[in-house]
Amino acid sequence: MSNVLNSGEKLIAKEGDVTAGDLKVNDAYDLYIVQTTDDNYILIVFMKLQFFFKDHGKEKWTEIEKDDFINNLEAAVKNVWGHNRVLKTLSDGKQVTLQYRFENKKGGFMMDHWEITVHKIPFADFRQSCVYTFFGNVSLDSEDLTFVNKPHGQQRGGVHEFGHMLGLGDEYLNTSSYKTVYDSIMNNGEKTYDRHFRFLNEWLDKQLKKKKIN
């Protein structure tokens, strides 16, 4: 836990290896509620991510490129997925904000939440990316942090796939109630909506009620 919480943060509640979202993703992440030194609160979504970088033919990763991909993926995820978003304002005016925290490792062995294989492909090329929720595996490529044109918007594949890691399903499918909400991150764009945080909010409310914090 020491590598998750920052100095001065007081643990209020925790659940490890959460089964997450509508997809019921097993061992998706850990959840923490902490109280900060100013008596506000943070809901932390913590993931252990193990990265494997795979070369293909003449397309080979450098160590700098590997580090840049990990750092840029984390930055993009936090930017789109509501890092420091206010989830709840309490009766005394204190707030609960959302933060994503990661422990990243290249290769080796790790008791991870997600094992992410990143394939090196030519610039502007395409390879299908996906999340295997049952196995906790993710397949990405070196172009997944580049905006690509979709039928109704622009999107980065890595940021969209992170939504599946949170337990969210695709919204561009004919079976989705949000099929025409094209700017959604789980559709063709990169906008998040309140519904994307429903599972986190439900867990938060349940834990706050247990602790008599309102």
Write out the E strands in the chain: 10-20, 25-35, 41-54, 86-89, 95-106, 114-119, 130-132, 137-141, 148-150, 153-155
- Across the range 195-214, mean pLDDT stands at 97
| Residue 108 lies in domain | 10-210
In a domain, 1, yes or no: no
Please give the average per-residue pLDDT across 120-124, as a whole number. 95
Give domain status of residue 170, yes or no.
Answer: yes
Query: Does 108 map to a domain?
Result: yes
Residues 166-176 pLDDT 10s: 999 999 999 99
Residue 5 lies in a domain: no
Angle of CA points 184, 118, 115, to nearest 5°: 85
Per the domain annotation, does 3 fall within a domain? no
Q: Are the CB atoms for 33 and 41 separated by under 8 Å?
A: yes
pLDDT band at 151 (very low <50, low <70, confident <90, very high): confident
**How many structural domains compose the chain?**
1
| pLDDT tens digits for range 60-90 | 999 999 999 999 999 999 999 999 999 999 9
Q: Does 4 reside within a domain? A: no
Question: 152: pLDDT confidence band, cut at 50, 70 and 90?
Answer: confident
136-147 pLDDT, tens digit per residue, is: 999 999 999 999
Q: Domain with 39 in it: what CATH number?
A: 3.40.390
Q: Is the pLDDT of residue 2 over 70?
A: no
Residue 1 pLDDT more than 80? no
In a domain, 206, yes or no: yes
